């Protein structure tokens, strides 16, 4: 059985064999995977050691102490945050063997083919069809809001395999090769002028049945794993006091007394308090999880994050004065980064944060989740969950 000391010894052995300062980062990540130190709770041979999940922190601390830079998740955030956990939870040994190592090293980027023009908050209403044909499936449909599709080798695909049963029961989950014939990726221009996302058109795309994740008809269950990881990934980032976009706003406020007004001061103080409360709340959630007393507070984190990010960006724009009326670049181009990490003008961040209350679950969907799963309130009456999918008006 692995413990702190044995994990620490394994990390030291890894660093001793492969000098991180003299090894290319991706190559080092490969060695780390092979040593079972990618995600220690995974089985041996699949990037892990079959060890308790909380020992992962020992790996991270020990590597940091050895001067190994923290894993840069920016290249493959969807793979690391959602694809990996989903394959680990629901994949076959063959799928894990093929997919996990290049996902971990960033050699193969992942994207997510869930949302459709007709299925946003009501994801289970999706219409992309997968029809069985011998040992493979043939897929037709259209997906949207797909980050990184133009870089991706693999996609998590949720498709309808049985239109004659109620919506949640007729879906199946696949891993699709984005290089397969019939996959077409087009950049989708957003309100900011740039394209962080894509539309993905699927026309007679063949997927071998060996790339099905979970049983036929079990797609919703598998997708829930992906979605839970998405909300955690978005809401749980630990930040220092005045970290991130708030820090930029505070610097501007302190540096430019001439821009201050009483109304903005009032709003800034309230924003600062909410941001600090969210930061303390995230830390509390982390402590509770580490202490084995996890509470449901994490589901509130993304709601708070969206509101704080939006208010920060709006206040920053208003404080900016004449420059608030300008914009840096309307050119239609792809962005290699998503979200608030981009160094752009206040107008960009103001516009970009409008999506924060929509992407990754709208505020309304999240409130529904809290009402159902945390507060156990009576469900809203629905007609669409018992009707065959093909009979639902759309």
Please select the residue that binds another protein; options are 58, 63, 152, 303, rule is CB under 8 A: 303
Nearer to another protein, 77 or 245 (CB): 245
Give the shortest CB-339-to-another protein separation in angstroms.
22
Q: Does 255 bind another protein (CB under 8 A)?
A: no
- 75-86 burial by CB neighbour count: b if 16+ within 10 A, else e? bbbbbbbbbbbb
Give the shortest CB-394-to-another protein separation in angstroms.
21
Binders of another protein among residues 358 to 377 (CB under 8 A) are 364, 366-368, 370-371, 374-377
Taking every pair of C-alpha atoms in the chain, what is the biggest distance, in angstroms? 71
Nearer to another protein, 30 or 360 (CB): 360
Nearer to another protein, 163 or 368 (CB): 368
62, 108, 196, 230: which one is catalytic? 230
Pattern of binders to another protein over 272-301, x per CB under 8 A?
Answer: xxx-xxx-xx-xx--xx--x-x---x--x-
Please select the residue that binds another protein; options are 89, 188, 252, 304, rule is CB under 8 A: 304
Give the shortest CB-357-to-another protein separation in angstroms.
13
Pattern of binders to another protein over 185-224, x per CB under 8 A?
Answer: ----------------------------------------
Q: Does 268 bind another protein (CB under 8 A)?
A: yes
Give the shortest CB-250-to-another protein separation in angstroms.
7
- 326-348 burial by CB neighbour count: b if 16+ within 10 A, else e? eeeeeeeeebeebbbeeebbbbb
Please select the residue that binds another protein; options are 67, 134, 381, 393, rule is CB under 8 A: 381
Nearer to another protein, 207 or 303 (CB): 303
Give the shortest CB-78-to-another protein separation in angstroms.
26
Please select the residue that binds another protein; options are 135, 257, 343, 393, rule is CB under 8 A: 257
**If DSSP states are collapsed to H, E and C, what string results for the chain?**
CCCHHHHHHHHHHHHHHCCCCCCCHHHHHHHHHHCCCCCCCCCECCCECCCCHHHHHHHHHHHHHCCCCCCCCCCCHHHHHHHHHHHHHHCCHHHHHHHHHHHHHCCCEEEEECCECCECCCHHHCCCEEEEECCEEEEEEEEECCCCCCCEEEEEEEEECCCCCEHHHCEEEEEEECCCCCEEEEEECCCCCCECEEEEEEEEEEEEHHHEECCCCCHHHHHHHHHHHHHHHHHCCCCCCCCCHHHHHHHHHHHCHHHCCHHHHHHHHHHHHHHHHHHHHHHHHHHHHHCCCCCCCHHHHHHHHHHHHHHHHHHHHHHCHHHHHCCCCCCCCECCCCHHHCCCCHHHHHHHHHHHHCCCCCHHHHHHHHHHHHCCCCCCCCCCCCCEHHHCCC
Contact 4, 55 (CB under 8 A): yes
> Does 2 participate in catalysis according to the annotation?
no
Total Cβ atoms within 10 A of residue 13: 12
Nearer to another protein, 78 or 278 (CB): 278
Give the shortest CB-318-to-another protein separation in angstroms.
14
Find the part of the chain contacting another protein (CB under 8 A) among 23-31, 83-91, 97-105, 253-261: 253-261
Give the shortest CB-8-to-another protein separation in angstroms.
23
Q: Does 232 bind another protein (CB under 8 A)?
A: no
Number of residues that bind another protein (CB under 8 A): 47
Q: Which residues are near another protein by CB under 8 A?
A: 240-242, 250, 253-254, 257, 260-262, 265-266, 268-270, 272-274, 276-278, 280-281, 283-284, 287-288, 291, 293, 297, 300, 303-304, 364, 366-368, 370-371, 374-381
Active site residues: 230
């Amino acid at each position: 059985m692995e413990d702190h000391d044995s994990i620490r010894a394994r990390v030291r052995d890894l660093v001793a064999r492969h000098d991180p300062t003299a090894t290319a980062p991706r190559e080092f990540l490969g060695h780390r995977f092979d040593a079972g130190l990618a995600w220690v709770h995974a089985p041996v041979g699949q990037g892990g050691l079959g060890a308790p999940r909380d020992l992962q922190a020992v790996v991270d601390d020990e590597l940091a102490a050895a001067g190994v830079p923290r894993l840069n998740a920016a290249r493959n955030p969807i793979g690391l945050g959602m694809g990996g956990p989903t394959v680990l939870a629901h994949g076959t040994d063959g799928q894990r063997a093929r997919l996990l190592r290049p996902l971990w090293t960033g050699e193969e980027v992942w994207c997510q083919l869930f949302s459709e023009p007709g299925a946003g908050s009501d994801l289970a209403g999706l219409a992309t069809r997968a029809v069985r044909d011998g040992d493979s499936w043939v897929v037709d449909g259209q997906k949207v809001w797909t980050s990184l599709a133009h870089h991706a080798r693999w996609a998590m695909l949720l498709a309808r395999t049985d239109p004659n049963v109620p919506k949640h029961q007729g879906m199946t989950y696949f891993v699709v090769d984005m290089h397969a014939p019939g996959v077409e990726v087009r950049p989708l221009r957003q309100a900011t002028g740039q394209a962080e996302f894509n539309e993905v058109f699927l026309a007679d795309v063949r997927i071998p049945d060996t790339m099905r994740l979970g049983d036929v008809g079990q797609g919703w269950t598998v997708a829930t794993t992906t979605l839970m990881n998405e909300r955690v990934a978005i809401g749980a980032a630990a930040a220092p006091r005045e970290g991130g976009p708030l820090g930029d706003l505070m610097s501007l406020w302190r540096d430019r007394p001439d821009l201050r007004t009483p109304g903005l001061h009032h709003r800034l103080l309230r924003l600062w308090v909410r941001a600090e409360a969210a930061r303390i709340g995230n830390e509390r959630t982390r402590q509770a999880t580490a202490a084995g007393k996890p509470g449901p507070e994490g589901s509130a984190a993304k709601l708070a994050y969206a509101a704080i990010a939006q208010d920060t960006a709006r206040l920053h724009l208003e404080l900016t004065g004449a420059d608030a009326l300008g914009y840096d670049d309307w050119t239609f181009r792809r962005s290699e980064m998503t979200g608030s990490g981009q160094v752009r003008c206040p107008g960009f961040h103001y516009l970009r944060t409008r999506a924060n209350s929509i992407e990754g679950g709208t505020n309304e969907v999240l409130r529904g989740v809290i009402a159902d799963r945390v507060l156990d309130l009576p469900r809203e009456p629905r007609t669409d969950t018992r009707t065959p999918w093909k009979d639902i008006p759309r």
